[in-house]
């Protein structure tokens, strides 16, 4: 008879996500994970297939929680400029927290792309979803006359995602909201 899992998988994913986000993939050992999650190594391997499987699950958890919440807040915003400003500023605040841990997805791109092509696909999917959501918000805003129609909404959205990626990397170097938030206003000038 198979043993039943004796831990909350969702809670374990949240805790693993936080640990990988703070330390990175390479600096996080299986021992660190089992201690932080309060589970045995056998349980980790049975549930996730090992460190790599847990990392991928943690990235997916990040996508379905924090990244999805950012996109929802963008879609629920009153006007495009305010919604984009709020989303970018909130991403900066999250990224500078915990002494500049950045963004888990951008960190994965910086740390894991050379070693793991599947991470490139994952990061690309997250980036594409962000770009597409932004492009739709910008398209509607242009139709309403809220923003300039000089730029193609898709190109403008790609610029904002690229800007955000750079901002999130910068948050690891300079984890200071007062330094980074003014840059959001400069990016928003592209909407004029």
Residue 77 — very low, low, confident or very high, per pLDDT cuts 50/70/90? low
Helix (H) or strand (E) holding 42: helix 41-48
> Residue 16 phi/psi, 5° resolution?
-65, -40
**Residue 88 pLDDT > 90, yes or no?**
yes
Distance CA 41, CA 23 (A): 19
Q: What is the pLDDT of residue 1?
A: 44
Cα–Cα distances in angstroms (integers) from residue 4 to residues 7, 25, 44, 147, 181, in the given order: 9, 28, 13, 55, 48
| Domain spans in the chain, listed from the N-terminal domain onward | 58-191
**Residue 2 pLDDT > 60, yes or no?**
no
Answer yes or no: are the C-beta atoms of 102 and 171 closer than 8 Å: yes
CATH topology of domain 58-191: Tetracycline Repressor; domain 2 (1.10.357)
Distance CA 116, CA 65 (A): 23
Which tens digits make up the pLDDT trace of 157-180?
999 999 999 999 999 999 999 999
Q: What is the pLDDT of residue 76?
A: 76
**Residue 5 pLDDT > 60, yes or no?**
no
Residue in the structure block whose two tokens are 């242009």: 142
Cα–Cα distances in angstroms (integers) from residue 71 to residues 5, 34, 35, 37, 140, in the given order: 33, 32, 33, 29, 15
pTM: 0.88
């Amino acid at each position: 008879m198979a043993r039943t899992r004796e831990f909350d998988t969702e809670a374990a994913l949240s805790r693993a996500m936080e640990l990988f986000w703070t330390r990175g993939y390479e600096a996080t050992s299986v021992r660190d994970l089992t201690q932080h999650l309060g589970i045995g190594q056998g349980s980790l391997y049975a549930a996730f297939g090992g460190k790599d499987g847990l990392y991928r699950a943690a990235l997916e958890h990040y996508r379905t929680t924090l990244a999805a919440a950012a996109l929802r807040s963008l879609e629920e915003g009153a006007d495009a400029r305010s919604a984009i400003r709020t989303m970018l500023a909130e991403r900066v605040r999250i990224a500078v927290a915990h002494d500049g841990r950045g963004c888990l997805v951008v960190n994965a791109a910086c740390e894991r792309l050379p070693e793991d092509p599947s991470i490139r696909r994952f990061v690309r999917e997250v980036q594409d979803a962000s770009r597409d959501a932004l492009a739709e918000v910008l398209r509607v805003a242009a139709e309403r006359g809220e923003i300039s129609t000089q730029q193609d909404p898709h190109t403008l959205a790609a610029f904002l995602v690229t800007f955000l990626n750079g901002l999130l990397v910068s948050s690891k170097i300079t984890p200071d909201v007062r330094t980074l938030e003014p840059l959001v206003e400069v990016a928003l000038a592209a909407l004029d």
